[in-house]
Homo-oligomer: A and B are copies of this chain.
Amino acid sequence: MTRHASGRPTPALAALVLTLTAVVTSVAAEPPPPPPPGTMAAALAASRPEEWRRLDPTRTVYMDLDAGRVIVELAPTFAPKLYGNLRTLVSAGYFDGLSINRVQDNFVVQWGDADGKRAVPIAKTSPPEFERSWSADLAFTALPDGDVFAPQAGFVEGFPVAGDRAAGRIWMAHCYGALGVGRDNAADSGTGIELYAVIGHAPRQLDRNITVAGRVVQGMELLAALPRGSQAMGFYATAPERVTIRRVRFADAVPTAERTGLEALRTDSASFAAVVESRRNRRDGWYLKPAGRIDLCSVPLPVRRTAIASP
């Protein structure tokens, strides 16, 4: 690693500048020096354009806060009914002016209608989408190092997933940045009017107990840095503490000039496999003993800025 400007040692890890939800800018003023072989930077530099996919604006949600924009990619392959609910809710402006009401350290940030007064344009129940069948058409990329919680772990369509192939079941995993659908005790009580994002160590015990509808691909730092609530489960004690949600829109409802162009590295690509390998065995100069292994929620899912396609 490079020394910090002050010359003080740091825990370093230059490559970790690209964190789980980091955005890689695609334009540089000067050609940078080539990254060290075997690093994530080298894997990304060697990637081909066709290994990246533009985020589909019909599956991309912008949540605008005073502090900036949080961008979510939804996973209708795993939660199609929730996807439909969110299309209805967002199109109706349901979330606009609501607030983030709960921030529980090392767990979740949660938002919705704190006062429960807003009209809800969807049904009061929704079938649980906690897991789905492991059908042959799913492009599953396996991780090689196993998983404490499930027989299989890997990625489908850019999302971290776990599964039991023998039982024919697969589900979205609660990794950092996962977007979940709050529910009450009844399995069908999560409809999408209350949502949360994971901000701490992966709470995998939630897997198969609640619907994961997508993941935050940009702006996690805006959610994770919010003050923790002082009440039980991290709820804010008073209304003024709540964080206002200015507006929530699907990208396809936003004028092209106002969209945030993003593309994600395909998790079924050779370059993604190289990224995984670069993180299993860190070859950055700072590391003395590469782990040789990686867990599901430590794998970066690279997303970078791109131009906006004309509509």
Contacts and interface: CB of A to CB of B under 8 A. Distances in A.
Interface residues of A, number: 87
A207 interface: yes
A26 interface: no
Contact of A298 (B185, B205, B221): B205
Q: How many copies does the complex hold?
A: 2
Nearest to A145: B148
Interface string A94-130: 0000000011111110101111100000000000001
A187 to B, nearest CB: 6
Interface in A145-177: 145-149, 175-177
A279 interface: yes
A19 B234 CA distance: 10
Interface in A175-221: 175-177, 180, 182-185, 187, 189-191, 193-194, 196, 199-210, 220-221
A299 to B, nearest CB: 10
B291 A187 contact: no
A105 B4 CA distance: 18
A9 interface: yes
Contacts of A182: 8-12
Interface in A231-268: 232-233, 235
A115 B225 CA distance: 25
A139 to B, nearest CB: 23
A107 B282 contact: no
Nearest to A146: B148
Given A8-B114, A10-B110, A289 B225 contact: no
A226 to B, nearest CB: 7
Interface in A46-67: none
Contact of A116 (B8, B205, B288): B8
Contacts of A207: 291
B183 A9 contact: yes
B210 A11 contact: yes
A194 B210 CA distance: 40
Given A3-B184, A291-B205, A14 B106 contact: no
Given A17-B232, A288-B187, A10 B102 contact: yes
B106 A11 contact: no
Residue among A106, A196, A210 with the highest chain B CB neighbour number at 10 A? A106
A295 B106 contact: no
Given A103-B225, A205-B279, 14 more contacts: A1-B185, A8-B182, A11-B194, A12-B183, A13-B233, A16-B203, A19-B105, A20-B106, A106-B177, A146-B148, A147-B148, A148-B148, A200-B200, A201-B298
Interface of A: 1, 3-4, 6-14, 16-17, 19-21, 102-108, 110, 112-116, 130, 145-149, 175-177, 180, 182-185, 187, 189-191, 193-194, 196, 199-210, 220-221, 224-228, 232-233, 235, 279, 282, 285-291, 293-295, 297-298
